[in-house]
Amino acid sequence: MIQKNISLLPYNTFGIDISAEYFAAFSSIDELKNLLEESKHKNKTIIGGGSNILFTKNIEGFVLKNELKGIELINEDENFFYVKAGAGVVWNDLVQYCIRNNYAGIENLSLIPGCAGAAPMQNIGAYGIELKDAFHELEALHVEDGNIQIFNAKDCEFGYRESIFKRKLKGRYIITSITLRLSKNPEYHIEYGAIKQELDKMNISELSIQNISQAVINIRRSKLPDPKIIGNAGSFFKNPAVSEAQYLFLKEKYPLIPAYNIAESSDKKIAAGWLIEQCGWKGYREGNFGVHALQALVLVNYGGAKGSDIYSLSEKIIKSVKEKFNIELEREVNII
């Protein structure tokens, strides 16, 4: 059912109260095709969980909410399980389904907000793992002709929080399902962040994907605000990559600067949260919005803030980091 002039407050985790000219949800491919026909000559904005969006103005045209559900094991071979999920499946529900069934590979991505369809768009990642590490293929519907196309990992052109769907094919396809390739022989990744310490705190002597998932959930809950309580979209900025020469220059001046190796590159990834904190933004508050007190990467809406206010704050943060470190921060959150 198409609704007119609907508030999008319930549909974005930042809690921004703006309106859509037209709004409709779809839970089948046929419904999606019908809605695309109805909205043929209008702008279209596709949303899932609304957890990686900052709305800065009212939306003209159609906002279409992806509610394609279903999780199933579609194949397996000697080493892998292949699990297919509708794009509207809540990401953490998919993670927990895989953990319950001992399908390994995405346990480090526990509790990331959002839906399965957004995972490859963003190439989501956390604690040393990215979606691309467990990705097999996806299905996407072409907005213009309604045909379903299959994209493998190479087709998706994954990068750091990037894919072809955020660049060349932006707005041209709607992801309808994803298929993951999950291991029968788990490789545990516990070197990143505080996973080891959390496992020690949990008195875990034998590693399992269940234990790692719980450790990640504990860490995320301790550091990141619950969007149901404080509006936010998780990490607002990407961790920037710098050349080895720039890193060594910064290391000399700031010996504690945290940096991580990048696979197949001499560049280093710098912790954006640390850069922001060094510029004095951690815990900053201006009226009903600000920077989270425990995690400087997270911008927050304490209630009633405008998206444009939060965007302006992000501009100030980018400017100050550039002035202090000569590093240009990029937003991870999609600005609409």
Q: Which residues are known to be catalytic?
A: 161, 235, 332
User: CA 12, CA 333: separation in Å to the nearest integer?
Assistant: 12
User: CA 110, CA 189: separation in Å to the nearest integer?
Assistant: 13
Q: What is the CA radius of gyration of the chain?
A: 20
φ, ψ of residue 174 to 5 degrees: the values are -120, 120
In angstroms, the Cα distances linking 210 to 83, 127, 148 are 18, 15, 35
User: CA 178, CA 176: separation in Å to the nearest integer?
Assistant: 7
CA distance from start to end of the chain? 24
Cβ neighbors of 124 (< 8 A, separation 6 or more) are 91, 109, 112, 114, 118, 130, 131, 161
**What are the tokens at 95?**
């993670």
For residue 156, the SS3 value is helix
